[in-house]
Amino acid sequence: MPFVGTQSPTGQLPSRVGPPQPLTPGGRANPSDPHAILPQPPPGKAAIGMSARFGAAEPLVPRGLVWRIFADQPETSGAYPLVAEAAEPAPVFFLSPGGYVVHVSYGLASVARRIVVGDDSRREQIIMSAGAVQLQSDVDDKPIPPEKISYDIFEGSFLQGRASSRPFYRGANSGDLIILPAGDYYVVSTYGDGNAVIQADIAVAAGKVTDATLHHRAAEVTLRLVQAKGGQPLPDTQWSVLSPGGDAIKESSGAVPSFVLAEGRYQAIARYDGKTYSKEFDVESGKDQPVEVTIGEQITAPASPQVDGGDGLEGSGDGDLGVSAEGSGD
C-alpha cells in the first residue's frame, strides 16, 4: 500500500516527533485533473471519469484504490447489481443514463456516493479521508523481532477513556502499512506470550502516515528445574509464574519454557515428581536471562495458583510507556 510520512502518536509524550509528511512523492498537492480530456463513449453511454483526493486541497490518491459501480435500484432478490469495477487510481466508466452508487475502497477506508448519469460525459472526484499507520516496537532502543510482536488497533482513545472494546484491525505485524480512515485510534502492542502488553494513542491524518515506535520494558526469561546449579534441566516439569500478589501470569510444561515478562518481580513455581519447588526472581528491561530453580528449593505447602476463567492470564501492562514517532521518506 502506498504510504510515506509521519504523524505524531500520543501515548505519553513522544520522545521525538517529525513534521507530518505527505503520502505522495514530492510533498506537494497535485492540482492537475487526471481527466482533462475524456474519451469518446460508445453510443447511448456517457464517460464518467473518477478520481479521489485525500482532501479538497490535498494530493490525488495515487494508487491502491478499488472502484465498484452498482445500480441504485435493487433486483428482485434485493441485491444491487454490480455494473462495473476497476483497480486504477483514475478509471473512466462508460455508463448508460440512470442512477448509480459509486463505492471506492482504500485499505480499510471506503466512501460511497450516489450519482445520476445523463447524456453528457463528466468528471467525478471523491474525497477519501484516509491515512495509514506503521508500527514498530523496541526494548532499550533495540528493535523487537517482528515474529515476537503483534498489534491490535482500536478506534477511540485509551488515555481519554473513549475506546472501542472491539479491534478495528487485529494482528498487525511490525512494519505493516495499514490504511485506516482518518481519526483517533489506540494500539495494543503485545510482546511475546507473557504479560508484556502496552497501549498507545495515535492520530491518523488524511494523506499522512503515523509512524510510531512503542517502547516495551520487558525481557525474555527461560525457566529450568535442576538438581544442582548449572545442571541439566529436568523434563516433564509443570511451571507457573506468579506475580508478587500470587496471581498467575503464565503456565507451561517442559524442561526449558521461555516467557516474555514485563519488568518486575515474580515467583517461579515448578512441579516435578509430586513435589513443588519455588524461586523468586526479578526481570529487568532488556536483560534476557535463565532462571534456575534447584531441587533444594522445595515448598512445604505446594502452591495452587488460581487463574481467572481457567486460562493462564497475561498481566495488563509492562510498566511505563514511551512512544516515539519519526518521519520517513517516500
**Cα 7 from chain centroid (whole Å):** 15
Query: 318 pLDDT exceeds 80?
Result: no
Query: 48 pLDDT exceeds 60?
Result: yes
Handedness of CA 48, 53, 58, 64 (dihedral sign): negative
Angle of CA points 253, 259, 262, to nearest 5°: 140
Give the list of residues 6+ apart from residue 77 with CB closer than 8 angstroms, or none.
none
Percent residues over pLDDT 70 in the chain? 80
Helix (H) or strand (E) holding 117: strand 109-117
Are residues 251 and 239 in contact, defined by beta-carbon separation less than 8 angstroms?
Answer: yes
Residue ranges of alpha helices (H) inside 30-175 are none
Q: pLDDT for 88-111, tens place per residue?
A: 999 999 999 999 999 999 999 999
The arithmetic mean of pLDDT across residues 67-93, rounded, is: 95
Q: Is residue 222 helix, strand or coil?
A: strand
Q: Which of 251, 255, 252 lies closest to 224, judged by CA? A: 255
Rounded Cα distance, 1 and 21, in Å:
16
What is the pLDDT at residue 299? 62
Banded model confidence at residue 133, pLDDT cuts 50, 70, 90: very high
Banded model confidence at residue 214, pLDDT cuts 50, 70, 90: very high
Banded model confidence at residue 32, pLDDT cuts 50, 70, 90: low
Banded model confidence at residue 316, pLDDT cuts 50, 70, 90: very low
What is the pLDDT at residue 27? 39
Q: pLDDT for 221-275, tens place per residue?
A: 999 999 988 889 999 999 999 988 889 999 999 999 999 999 999 999 999 999 9
Rounded Cα distance, 31 and 142, in Å:
42
